[in-house]
Amino acid sequence: MNKQNCAELAEKLKKVQNLNSDFDTKAEKALSFDTSRDWNEEESALITEAGKVGEENEQLLIELEKIIFETNVTATYVCKINKKKETSETITIDFEKKLEYSISFYKTHHIDLPENFREIMTDIWNRNIDIIQKSIEEQGFDEILLIPGNLSVPDVHTKMSEGYTATAKGGWFTDGGSFEGVIEKTTKPRIILIHKNNAQNLYDRPELQKILGKKVEDLIKSGQTLTLTDYLIYQRQFFEETGNRLDKSSRGWTPGSTVKNPGGGFRVVYADWGDSRLLMHAGDPDGSNSRVGCRLSRCLT
């Protein structure tokens, strides 16, 4: 919370305290009135005044909530990966704007939302506001995804690929059960912090380029949890907002999603784009490929 908001909050809290004290005094006096007779003019005026104090107090509490709940987060990110050229970027994420967009997006694509979706997302945002700001400062995340809970992976795929050429599926992905066989690390409602600017392909952004060729098991150990559901929703939003396709010349692991390996154990899902369609794959966790990396993210529930 900035200094201006803190000062405004302190002022309003003091006023609420004074109003509460004033209201208690008036209410205590009003309770002593004899209800078996008509109140005189002075007593009636006191009752009316106490009611107005209560209404003013209620309005102040509403204003306080607006001050306490910050809908925007702004932070400065300094990228130091390229030693020859250090870059600085001021990033602002507007939660309310993204929330309205997300509700409209899911409605357009016929994904049912719980009635309290707005409240759920607001709660996650409000509880994690400090983490969000720190994550922007440290990792340069400039976008958020608002993901409902308990989504069906096959259903999300169908709706997020509508209008595309039929999805191509690699043998290991199919052997693991295809979309019906995907097991996801989390199905909870969540906010995902991710990169958008200069991030169409993993090669385009230094933080993501650095991940190319790494073993996905190491990415999982480092805490990366992006799921296929997250990816499918993001690739559709990215296309609709920018007109470009994610991973047209790179491939992205989804460390939070796996399929069974018929020979034992599991394989991790990864995806890219080609020939007007999504391309789905699965790979062994200890494997690596110079074209396959990961969209770094932070999952908040």
Task: Tell me the C-alpha distance between 65 and 49, whole Å.
Answer: 25
Q: Are residues 37 and 50 in the same domain?
A: yes
Task: Tell me the C-alpha distance between 178 and 259, whole Å.
Answer: 8
Whether 201 contacts 292, CB under 8 Å: no
201-214 average pLDDT score: 94
* DSSP classification of residue 203: G
Element (DSSP H or E) covering residue 201: none
**Residue 153: pLDDT above 80?**
yes
- Under DSSP, is residue 91 helix (H, G, I), strand (E, B) or coil? strand
Q: Are residues 47 and 89 in the same domain?
A: no
**Residue 182: pLDDT above 50?**
yes
Percent of the chain predicted with pLDDT > 90: 72
pLDDT bucket at 281, cuts 50 / 70 / 90: very high
Q: Are residues 22 and 151 in the same domain?
A: no
**Residue that finishes a domain, picked among 53, 68, 83:** 68
Number of domains in the chain: 2
Secondary structure, 3-state, 87-141: EEEEEEEEHHHHHHHHHHHHHHCCCCCCCCHHHHHHHHHHHCHHHHHHHHHHHCC
Residue 228: its pLDDT value, please?
98
82-90 average pLDDT score: 83
**Residue 2: pLDDT above 50?**
no
Q: Are residues 33 and 77 in the same domain?
A: no
Q: 0.85 cut: is pTM over it? A: no
**Residue 179: pLDDT above 70?**
yes
66-85 average pLDDT score: 79
Residue 97: its pLDDT value, please?
95
**Residue 19: pLDDT above 70?**
no
Residue 196: its pLDDT value, please?
97
Sequence-ordered strand ranges (E) for the chain: 72-79, 87-94, 143-147, 168-169, 183-184, 190-194, 251-260, 266-274, 277-283, 292-294, 297-300
**Residue 13: pLDDT above 60?**
no
Q: Are residues 81 and 28 in the same domain?
A: no
**Residue 23: pLDDT above 80?**
no
Q: Are residues 34 and 104 in the same domain?
A: no
Rounded to 5°, angle at Cα 148 from 143 and 152 = 120
- Of the listed ranges 1-15, 72-86, 124-138, the one predicted with least confidence: 1-15
Mean residue pLDDT of the chain comes to 87
pLDDT tens digits, 161-174: 999 999 999 999 99
Q: Are residues 28 and 177 in the same domain?
A: no
Phi, psi of 286 (to 5 degrees): -95, 5
Phi, psi of 280 (to 5 degrees): -110, 140
pLDDT bucket at 128, cuts 50 / 70 / 90: very high
Task: Tell me the C-alpha distance between 203 and 105, whole Å.
Answer: 28
Phi, psi of 47 (to 5 degrees): -60, -45
pLDDT tens digits, 245-256: 999 999 999 999
Q: Are residues 296 and 214 in the same domain?
A: yes
What is the separation, in whole angstroms, between the first and last Cα of the chain? 21
* DSSP classification of residue 288: -
pLDDT bucket at 54, cuts 50 / 70 / 90: low
Instruction: Identify which of 199, 93, 184, 190 has the alpha carbon closest to the alpha carbon of residue 137.
Output: 93
Task: Tell me the C-alpha distance between 295 and 195, whole Å.
Answer: 7
**Residue that finishes a domain, picked among 68, 88, 122:** 68
Task: Tell me the C-alpha distance between 165 and 145, whole Å.
Answer: 25
Q: Are residues 166 and 27 in the same domain?
A: no
Structural domain harbouring 46: 3-68
Q: Are residues 113 and 249 in the same domain?
A: yes
Residue 34: its pLDDT value, please?
59
pLDDT bucket at 69, cuts 50 / 70 / 90: low
Instruction: Identify which of 254, 261, 102 has the alpha carbon closest to the alpha carbon of residue 172.
Output: 261
Q: Are residues 212 and 284 in the same domain?
A: yes
**Residue that finishes a domain, picked among 29, 50, 68:** 68
Q: Are residues 25 and 81 in the same domain?
A: no
**Residue 217: pLDDT above 90?**
yes
